[in-house]
Amino acid sequence: MQALTGKIAVITGGNSGIGKATAQLFAQQGAKVAITGRRQDVLDAAVAEIGSGVVGIQGDSADIAQHTRLVREIRQRFGELDIFVANAGVIKLAPSDKVTVEDYDHQFDVNTRGVFFGVQAILPLMRDGGSIILVSSIAATKTLDNHAVYAGSKAAIGAFARAWALELKARKIRVNVLSPGPVETPILDKLGVTAKERPDFVKAMGDMIPLGRMGLPADLASAALFLACDAGSFITGIELTVDGGMSLT
């Protein structure tokens, strides 16, 4: 039997990278999946690639009104919800003395505020016994150059998860954090890594990781599946680090 048969899952930022890989795996494991993304064309392409069992709902996680629209869509399409993966995130690296107010606000709006109010909005739809997975980063606990604002925006995620794990215990809703290390996703392009530079960049990052390579979206999707399905049914309030051992260095 598939691990998520009969389950309804929502994955924010599910149109690329970790989110898309998680949506693919969840659908393969029998879930009906809704993914969100800001750009309709990218969202449509992801839905077409993933195939049956997946629907796309356009929206920006930084927009609080989007959460209300998302809840309305999920209620109309599925009625209830079992799994919520708060995956949408943004990053803008800069030394602290170069951070602009706009860059600061944007990262906290998506990575922190969007997660908080996204979970708040979907809770009335969640069935008892559901699973909430908040995607953070090892940057929240490991000091990395030029990551101060991003790290701060992600560090709050762990605090949310611990609080919610206790607040929701009566409903048996589990809340956990998934913290990736460096992962080969399209976000590398946004960080300014060109196609020509990518092989050298990936090798250099791999040399910094005890297991000798960067993570792949599928690595994180497998971890998310564990937290979402019955195999992780006795786990709540933890941070699952998936980084090939980079946090040890």
Residue type, 232: G
**Nearest alpha carbon to residue 75 among 131, 17, 171, 8:** 8
Alpha helices in 98-197 (DSSP H): 101-108, 114-122, 148-167, 187-190
CA Rg value for the chain = 17
104 classed as catalytic: no
Q: Please identify which of the residues 26, 150, 160, 164 carries the catalytic annotation.
A: 150
The length of the chain in residues reads 249
Q: What is the DSSP string of 77-112?
A: HTS-EEEEEE---------GGG--HHHHHHHHIIII
Residue 63, CB half-sphere, CA atoms under 13 Å: how many?
Answer: 11
Residues designated as active site: 150
